[in-house]
């Protein structure tokens, strides 16, 4: 780093320090300067943490490119400015605030309330840590103009985030996300942003806690999603919230539904933002559910359920001949779609929605039941808004949406993924299987025999640095111009480039750096760059019909090998396999 670059870096760091209202992060950044930690300092000051498609997320540390009080104060001011501009003054409804049990969440919520109140906005807040779905629900229940959930979901303990909802209870979409980002850029230093003193201490009439009425409304709402007569008091369930906020709400939902044999994982039951028993609090990660599976063995459970720390995702495990099987997000999605549609008795046509990187199997299930099926870009913001568009047009009624990363929304009670209602309905599904002398794995096998066996894999190719980003972009360009003829020994029958012709697609399938290759026989390969890292992501969904008497395990292993070969072939074709 040149002397001029060092001088510029230190000047920017000192300017950030001067505008930071938090003495702890000011001291943290000063210590980096004094120690000469230029590489770390450069990373901390590498621009400003960007307000992305749903908000902010990053490590909680000092610096402009990190989550901290200064970043949150500036984000809250940007949100307040956009809302005030939208309504031509203070909005008619409150901004709803809530957060999970991460260590920094309370102060970030307090700072947000203080900024919003000083800007003349009404605020309603959850006093205790709550699941993210409750924030989304409360926006609609209270007639809110927006909502903020302070959470990093299933990220490591050092992270936190800032997730924004629009007045419709769904995550914000363009152009609001860009409007807020631009408004944040116009905000000066955080220390100069007005904040109301003691905003959460009952001093201000416009800032009030959310009462039990809203929570009870949520509980009634998700109870209404159940099939009449569903449930089984004898179903033995092991549950873990992974040190998050789910236990109180999941245990209440299951208890009200008549499930009397619930066994929480005691070591992970209490909210704890340090996540002491897991390296990474994501139920998809290897080892994250080990304590739950051990508990299930010890009590002879029928079902294991797990939420991530803010309880918007659900994982499930079921017993089998070889021990416990942790179901993938696509498998849970297929089971829930089949269960919900098999019991649907509404007059209007049912609507199910999944994201483009989720398994195509759900579309086949929907078709078999006469449901309308739609696919969106990744993210529940698009699932929710697609459902709203289609329902407003009177074309169908939304009953289920999912994404492969363990996110599920049932019946529109919450316009975002909700791991609590999903846990309740999946328990009902397992109870139905138990009454039939089976379990969800048996039902999944039936679906495979009916709709074909599907396996899904992902391959990520990292190319660090600016040159890496260029290489990833160039690879996408080459693929769009000239797709391969075969992958994994299977012919490529078509290619769709989502960077073009967005005007011909619905808004939930707009322009995106994504190319989809359809393979003969129904399999497919999707390729897209990561939005945050110099990395190319390859998704492969392989399908095979299941012959009479075929062993599903053997066929699955063969499909996995085929999918891995297709991903490897594509990496080689793009010159990114080295």
What are the structure tokens assigned to 322, written together?
């070889």
CATH topology of domain 219-451: Alpha-D-Glucose-1,6-Bisphosphate; Chain A, domain 3 (3.40.120)
Helix (H) or strand (E) holding 402: strand 397-403
CATH topology of domain 50-210: Alpha-D-Glucose-1,6-Bisphosphate; Chain A, domain 3 (3.40.120)
Q: Is 132 exposed, middle or buried (0-12, 13-18, 19+ CB in 10 A)?
A: buried
What are the structure tokens assigned to 220, written together?
């009634």
In DSSP terms, 529 is beta-bridged to 536
Residue with tokens 């329902």: 391
Instruction: State the Cα angle at 552 between 551 and 553, rounded to 5°.
Output: 95
Helix (H) or strand (E) holding 515: strand 515-519
What are the structure tokens assigned to 494, written together?
């078509």
What are the structure tokens assigned to 77, written together?
């001011």
Contact (CB, 8 A) for 147 and 136: yes
Q: Which residues of the chain have pLDDT under 50?
A: none
In DSSP terms, 352 is beta-bridged to 373, 400
Strands (E), 123-170: 123-125, 146-150, 159-166
Helix (H) or strand (E) holding 522: none
d(CA 474, CA 369): 42
Tell me the three-class secondary structure of 189-250, residue by residue: CHHHCCCCCCCCCCCCCCEEECCHHHHHHHHHHHHCCCCCCCCCCCCEEEEECCCCCCHHHH
| pTM confidence score | 0.95
* Model pLDDT for residues 3-27, shown as the tens digit of each residue: 898 999 999 999 999 999 999 999 9
452-573 maps to CATH 1.10.760? no
* Model pLDDT for residues 441-494, shown as the tens digit of each residue: 999 999 999 999 999 999 989 887 667 778 888 999 999 999 999 999 999 999
Q: In which region does residue 301 sit, left (phi positive, over 0), alpha (psi from -120 to 50) or beta (all else)?
A: beta
Q: Is 575 exposed, middle or buried (0-12, 13-18, 19+ CB in 10 A)?
A: exposed
Contact (CB, 8 A) for 155 and 165: no
Establish whether 153 is a catalytic residue. Answer: yes
d(CA 1, CA 132): 43
d(CA 532, CA 543): 30
Helix (H) or strand (E) holding 539: strand 535-544
The segment(s) of the chain belonging to CATH 3.40.120.10 are: 50-210, 219-451
Tell me the three-class secondary structure of 491-514, residue by residue: EEEEEEECCCCHHHCCHHHCCCCC
Contact (CB, 8 A) for 377 and 355: yes
Measure CA of the first residue to CA of the last residue in the chain; give whole Å: 29
Helix axes 419-435, 132-141, angle to 10 degrees: 110
Contact (CB, 8 A) for 75 and 51: yes
pLDDT of residue 578: 59
Contact (CB, 8 A) for 231 and 258: yes
Per-residue burial over 431-444, b if 16 or more Cβ lie within 10 Å, else e, is bbbbeeeebbbebb
List 105, 153, 523, 542, catalytic entry: 153
Q: How far is CA 411 from CA 351, 391, 531, in A?
A: 10, 12, 30
């Amino acid at each position: 780093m040149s002397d001029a670059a060092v001088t510029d870096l230190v000047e920017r760091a000192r300017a950030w320090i001067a505008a930071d209202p938090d003495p702890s992060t000011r001291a943290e950044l000063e210590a980096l300067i004094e120690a000469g930690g230029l590489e770390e300092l450069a990373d901390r000051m590498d621009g400003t943490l960007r307000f992305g498609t749903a908000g902010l997320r990053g490590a909680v540390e000092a610096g402009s490119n990190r989550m901290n009080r200064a970043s949150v104060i500036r984000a809250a001011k940007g949100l307040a400015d956009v809302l005030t501009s939208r309504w031509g003054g203070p909005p008619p409804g409150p901004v709803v605030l809530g957060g999970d049990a991460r260590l920094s969440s309370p102060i970030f919520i307090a700072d947000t309330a203080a900024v919003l109140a000083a800007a003349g906005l009404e605020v309603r807040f959850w006093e205790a840590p709550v699941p993210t779905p409750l924030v989304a629900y409360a926006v609609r229940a209270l007639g809110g103009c927006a909502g903020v959930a302070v959470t990093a979901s299933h990220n490591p303990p050092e992270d936190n985030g800032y997730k924004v909802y629009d007045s419709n209870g769904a995550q914000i979409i363009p152009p609001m996300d860009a409007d807020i980002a631009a408004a944040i850029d116009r905000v000066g230093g955080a220390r100069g942003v007005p904040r109301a003193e003691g905003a959460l201490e009952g001093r201000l009439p416009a800032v009030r806690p959310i009462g039990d009425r809203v929570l009870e409304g949520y509980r009634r709402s998700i109870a209404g999603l159940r099939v009449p007569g569903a449930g089984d008091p004898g179903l033995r369930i092991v549950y873990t919230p992974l040190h998050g906020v789910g236990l109180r709400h999941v245990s209440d939902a299951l208890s009200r539904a008549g499930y009397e044999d619930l066994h929480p994982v005691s070591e992970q039951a209490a909210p704890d933002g340090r996540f002491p028993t897991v390296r990474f609090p994501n139920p998809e990660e290897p080892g994250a559910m080990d304590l739950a599976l051990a508990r299930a063995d010890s009590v002879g459970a029928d079902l294991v359920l797990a939420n991530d720390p803010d309880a918007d995702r659900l994982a499930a495990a079921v017993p089998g001949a070889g021990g416990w099987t942790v179901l993938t997000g696509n498998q849970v999605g297929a089971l829930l779609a089949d269960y919900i549609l098999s019991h649907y008795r509404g007059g209007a046509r049912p609507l199910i929605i999944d994201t483009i990187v989720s398994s195509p199997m759900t579309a086949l299930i929907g078709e078999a039941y006469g449901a309308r099926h739609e696919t969106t870009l990744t993210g529940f913001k698009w699932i929710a808004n697609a459902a709203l568009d289609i329902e407003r047009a009177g074309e169908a009624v939304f009953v289920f949406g999912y994404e492969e990363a363990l996110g599920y929304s049932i019946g529109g009670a919450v316009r975002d993924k909700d791991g609590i209602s999903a846990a309740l309905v999946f328990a009902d599904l397992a109870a139905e299987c138990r009454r039939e002398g089976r379990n969800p794995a048996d039902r999944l096998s039936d679906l495979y025999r009916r709709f074909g066996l599907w396996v899904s894999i992902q391959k990520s190719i990292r190319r660090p640095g600016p040159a890496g980003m260029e290489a990833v972009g160039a690879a996408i360009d080459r693929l769009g111009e000239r797709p391969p003829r075969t992958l994994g020994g299977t012919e490529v029958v078509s290619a769709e480039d989502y960077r073009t012709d967005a005007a011909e697609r619905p808004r939930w399938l707009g322009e995106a750096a994504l190319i989809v290759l359809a393979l003969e026989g129904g399999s497919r390969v999707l390729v897209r760059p990561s939005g945050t890292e110099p990395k190319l992501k390859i998704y492969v969904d392989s399908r095979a019909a299941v012959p009479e008497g075929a062993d599903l395990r053997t066929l699955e292993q063969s499909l996995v090998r085929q999918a891995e070969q297709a991903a490897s072939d594509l990496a080689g074709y793009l010159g990114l396999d080295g």
